Structure 1
Amino acid sequence: MKKTHILGASAASAALALGILAAPPASAAAHQGGLHFGALQFDGPGADRPQTNAKLNAEYVDIHNNTRSAMQLKGYTVRTDSGFKATFSGSFVLGAGKTVRVRNGQGTNTASTVYRKANNFWFNNSKGGVTLYAANGAKKDSCSWKANGRGYTTCH
């Protein structure tokens, strides 16, 4: 089973046409600054079966840029504890103070939502973890969860 998926940039979004800007500081995983996870929907509402694109897209994680500069995310990877991952490609730029939602299934990428373009669920419903890595492999943030009856958690 292929677990890697590439997240492209939307040509329609002017925000994505920005150039490469400075990398975040080493403390980027901290909520007070840097790039970090926000909301995480690890178990979408309703039963997982039958599997549909809407149910796949109900699983998502938000990545927030809490800096004063736009950040180039090309090569950044979101990886689950179970080995599923999504890697940003192209010239995807996340604006200062902006959030991008990484959804699991199929869809058209925009400046605020990108799609993993997978045909399988990537988060474990009972417990798990997810880690954000920079293009150079440096760990930027992580978040873990346990089933809570809502299927949702806030990472910071």
Structure 2
Amino acid sequence: MRTRSILPIAVAVAVAAPLLAATPAAAAPHQRGLHFGTIQYDTPGADRRTNTAVNGEWVNIHNNSRSAVQLKGYKVKDNNGYTYTFGSFKLGAGKTVKLRTGKGGNTSTTRYWGRSWYVWNNTSDKARLIKPNGSLQDSCSWTTRDRGTKNCH
């Protein structure tokens, strides 16, 4: 009966383990499916109650899938409960839609919340993308250190 020494294996593991621990983790892959891209939560310039200023707040929603997604019933919410609900709107594969806070004419690339005052808190807040069934699809939060714009992906 032959026996093998496990010493060479133990030495190899002992030598390799610190190297593996020192190797940086790979970057997380870009989020798949429907998700937030960039949020401009602090309108550039002074906070004036003009439609142009209110539309300076916006959030991009990106469809990083291989097929179009029907957004009807999806909601965008903030920490205070302000809610935008998408009507019938199909976002193509690889496409982005910008949801502006103020009023305007909806297009294939821009939707308007229809508000006359700001939604996003400049000091800290959290945007949530809620599926029609009520479950969370994505979220993005920020604080003042983000300086008005947050890249969520």
TM-score (norm 1): 0.77
1:1-156 to 2 correspondences below 5 Å: 31-49=30-48, 51-89=49-87, 91-148=88-145, 150-156=147-153
The residue number in structure 1 matching 2:25 is: none
Partner Cα distance (1:45, 1:82) in 2: 22
After superposing on structure 2, the runs of 4+ consecutive aligned residues of structure 1 that deviate more than 2 Å are: none
The residue number in structure 2 matching 1:26 is: none
Shift of 1:82: 1.2
Computed over aligned residues only, the root mean square deviation of the Cα atoms, in angstroms, reads: 1.2
Q: Structure 1 122/116 Cα, relative in aligned 2: closer, same or farther at 3 Å?
A: same
Partner Cα distance (2:123, 2:58) in 1: 15
Determine helix, strand or coil for the equivalent of 1:148.
helix
Shift of 1:149: 6.4
Q: Structure 1 or 2: larger helix share?
A: 2
Structure 1: 5+ residue stretches without partners? 1-29
Partner Cα distance (1:149, 1:128) in 2: 11
Shift of 1:120: 1.3
Shift of 1:138: 1.4
Partner Cα distance (2:97, 2:59) in 1: 8
TM-score (norm 2): 0.79
> What is the letter of the counterpart of residue 72 of structure 1?
Q
Partner Cα distance (1:77, 1:94) in 2: 14
Q: Percent identity?
A: 52
Deviation string, structure 1 residues 18-60 (Cα, Å, up to 9, x no partner):
xxxxxxxxxxxx84311000000000111113x1001100000
